[in-house]
Amino acid sequence: MFDNIIDRKNSSCSKYDNLEQYFGKTDLDPFWVADMDFEIPPFLQEAIQKRAQHNVFGYGKQNKEIFEAIKNWMSSQHQWDIDTASISLCNGVVPAYAACIEAFSNVDDEIIVQTPVYFPLFQCIKANNRRILENPLKEDNGYYTMDLEHLKSIITPKTKMIALCSPHNPVGRVWDKKELEELANICIENNITIVSDEIHADLTFKKFTPIASISEKIANITVTLNSPGKTFNIAGLNASYCITLNDELKNKLDDIIKQRVIGTINVFGLIAMQCAYEHGTKWLENLLNYLESNIDITIETLKNNTKIKVQKPEATYLLWLNFEEYNLPHQKIKEILLNDCKVALNDGLSFGKNGKSHFRFNTATSKIYLKKGLNKIINFAK
């Protein structure tokens, strides 16, 4: 099913239908927005279509089975045993992240981000009148690690929260247990709340560790954000949740979720989340095999035909392409990709200053379409 070519144009789809708005062109092949060009699993289609046949789409009910499905998925996929009482539903990971900012910090407080990183984090911090505190990742030949010495040096009494991206978008790291423990110990010592965006946790090619699963002390300062949106390609249904084992933190967060009125998920989102987590294990295994094959094809093609440098990710279907070897200004690289190659990629500078000369490439599409895009990119600067 992953080889099927789906025409997504004119389907109210941001990835294809927003090209002119974001790039000023419509004649581009899009490899930017982080969703997949794959159909959702058949069992998920059937569940949604069955509900749609009812023809009345009123408010949805948060059944206990949904919370049980989340709990069981965390246990089976990530060996993390949680109680359903620790789960708060939310209509998106980004809205949940914004709610955490309000719940665990005050105006003009500092929020740490580890750049390059998913750009809506910056937007949420600014929109909530907090200050961005950048802790750039260290890079060695395309492989990124946390700079914890730098982190310790920038913390002030106004540093209240760190936005952990785990697995990391866009660099594709799956942080190992030791890295996470060292980071958490710094946060414990400085009374900093960890808000861990783990939306790509299922899309990993090595063992993933939820940071809150490591110890009770770490769980006590952590809020975990997650969703089946990336895993099962249902991001448009806005079905997400927070896991908070510390009752005090959970009460603060729940209060803000209520104030912002972001705790209600539409009826299709509720059905999809429960169904995906109850029946999605085998489909996910097949998806990961296909994604890894696409990633390998992309890396081999770029390595053999271009000067673009890329490290194989440990998670996600996103590749962090490095164009530095071309010795071109960042804007020029962008112009060539748009005007000559005719492909739409995410601009690396949107992920932070250390995204210069980098662009994010989405490999989650059919192999035919992927190879079409790669054939355009390999003509870069020729």
Length of the chain: 382
Residue pLDDT, tens place only, 84-134? 999 999 999 999 999 999 999 999 999 999 999 999 999 999 999 999 999
Rounded distance between C-alpha atoms, residue 220 and residue 157, angstroms: 20
Sequence-ordered list of residues with C-beta below 8 angstroms from that of 282, at least 6 positions apart, any chain: none
**Mean pLDDT score, 36-62:** 94
Per-residue pLDDT tens for 50-74? 999 999 988 888 999 999 999 999 9
pLDDT tens readout for residues 168-221:
999 999 999 999 999 999 999 999 999 999 999 999 999 999 999 999 999 999
How would you classify residue 209: left for phi > 0, otherwise alpha for psi between -120 and 50, otherwise beta? beta
Please tell me the distance from the alpha carbon of residue 53 to that of residue 8, in angstroms, as a whole number: 23
122's tokens = 């910056």
Share of the chain above pLDDT 90, in %: 97
Asked if residue 381 has pLDDT above 90, the reply is no
Q: Averaged over 38-52, what is the pLDDT?
A: 96
Cis peptide before 329 (omega within 30 of 0): no
What is the residue-averaged pLDDT of the chain? 97
Name the pLDDT band for 164 (thresholds 50, 70, 90). very high
Q: Is 382 a residue whose pLDDT tops 80?
A: no
Q: What is the pLDDT of residue 112?
A: 98
- Position 1 scores a pLDDT of 85
| Contact between residue 95 and residue 227 where contact means Cβ atoms under 8 Å apart | no
Return the number of other C-beta atoms located less than 10 Å from residue 157's C-beta. 9
The strand pairing partners of 134, in sequence order, are 113
Q: Do 32 and 365 touch, CB atoms closer than 8 A?
A: no
pLDDT above 70 covers a percentage of the chain that reads 99
pLDDT given for residue 258 in this prediction: 97
How confident is the model at residue 369, as a pLDDT? Answer: 97
Is residue 203 a contact partner of residue 231, using CB atoms and an 8 Å limit? Answer: yes
pLDDT for 103:
98
Rg of the Cα atoms in the chain? 20
Residue 60 has a pLDDT of 85
State mean pLDDT over 280-307. Answer: 98
Tokens of 222: 């952590």
Euclidean distance between CA atoms 201 and 203, whole angstroms: 6
Among 115, 262, 260, 97, smallest CA distance to 193 is for 97
Q: Can you give the pLDDT at residue 61?
A: 86
